[in-house]
Structure 1
């Protein structure tokens, strides 16, 4: 860029570089998706086609950035875990969150129009996503984060399943259904579903109850810490990058809270 007398304004810019040697967690949320779902006629309590749009959209981001170790999402939200050594955009927070938010919005439109060609996205009602970035120093923090999000998925889905059963099958108004569920526990909600509507919540699809996990599955990956990464030659670093590029991206609807998922994937450390 050529120098000019106006270039001094650049001194007002501020960058927040995320802490090194920490996992980066970028969470992307839909903005105003309640109204968006009404506009495009989502099925209640869950629209499988719309969930697949979100999952395919998130998959496009995982494909685009090899630094993403795994992602987890449900409804209009997705969380992306970036490896500790990630140097994408020099770990500049604003760059990362604008990148993830804008890419989710763009790919969502493309995936939606493929999934629902009969009702394409209209300019008057576009999907918008915002994003935030958090750093976690330990895998324990990462595990607890994903446990939190999956528990939240279960709580919301159980509530929505009962709520819409009361509305669509129990002929209640939304306000009456909301009042009916005030103060109820999970056991109460399960009882309402079973006794009134013969719905066993345990038999609901796992994608609704547990959300979706996207992960790069390595066959022969060996983890290296930040210090070891610094010792690798340029050739070795390039080989590591190629491994990440070639790793298969697999979609699951499984438990992230128990040890089994994490113990069988030491490359997440």
Structure 2
């Protein structure tokens, strides 16, 4: 766990961020999007917990109405989030980038190229939103060839180094979903997955929702991985901070073993 001093600092950041951001362009649309997202969560819960046979027995008109309602709520969420992101509100820019990436992965129109997603992440990161900084580092600096691998690693390292120590002014807007799977969050074991339904398994393997401290842990872990070849002392420092911020113990232990083997 983080030290008391660090915990107090982020508690203060969360307490004051709503006041500082009152009246910020895009904030109203963001709150509307979050209310709509809650509706989507309720719909998802109903689908996951529904009796499949009972649904099959529903009149066609009722099934069609339910489907239309879900599509309407989904569309409302997308448009509200887009409006907030367009206004420049960093948490919305990040979540809209998450949404666009998800749509790309599922092949949903319109097809959005990587540059559109990364532009949103860049804008949110410049405003100090840590989730966007980590997402940008891991998603927007992927090499296109083996020759670009070293340059890409250097870009990720420089990006995270410059962002990780900044105070995030949006502390009250966490937790948010991570942009990619996180190495500092424990995934369900095969034994646990075997007890889940197919839908529950799909949800369990999605990028997790993380608070600000967990994003800090993940960023420090990524820096430790990047530094382990060139600067082992620096890698150890980042790994210690990742552990302090709550990185999953087995992940930290595996990295510690890798560092020890390289000595």
- Name whichever structure is richer in strand by fraction: 1
**TM norm structure 2:** 0.24
Q: Answer 1 or 2: higher relative contact order, Cα 8 Å, separation at least 6.
A: 1
- Name whichever structure is richer in helix by fraction: 2
Larger-gyration structure (1/2): 1
